[in-house]
Amino acid sequence: MRYNAVLFDLDGTLLDTLDDLASAANQVLTDQGAPPHPVDAYRHFVGDGLHTLVERMLPADRRDAETVSAALAAFQETYARVWRHRSAPYPGIADLLDRLAAGGVRMSVLSNKPDAFTRLCVQRLLTCWHFDPLLGQREGVPKKPDPAGALEIARLLQLDPSRILYVGDSGVDMRTAQAAGMDAAGALWGFRDQAELVRTGAKHLVARPEDLLPLIFSP
Note whether 180 and 20 are within 8 A (CB): no
| Among 9, 16, 48, 183, the one annotated catalytic | 9
Q: Between 65-82 and 50-57, two packed helices, what is the crossing angle to 10 degrees?
A: 110
What CA–CA distance (Å, rounded) separates 199 from 195?
6
Among 190, 183, 219, residue whose Cα is nearest residue 204: 183
What CA–CA distance (Å, rounded) separates 27 from 77?
11
CA-to-CA dists, residue 49 to 91, 112, 143, 145, 201, angstroms: 25, 5, 8, 11, 21
What CA–CA distance (Å, rounded) separates 113 from 14?
13
Note whether 188 and 207 are within 8 A (CB): yes
Taking CA 107 as the corner, what is the angle to CA 104 and CA 112, rounded to the nearest 5 degrees? 175
Residue 40 appears among annotated catalytic residues = no
- Residue 61, class by beta-carbon neighbours within 10 Å (0-12 exposed, 13-18 middle, 19+ buried)? exposed
Catalytic residue numbers read 9
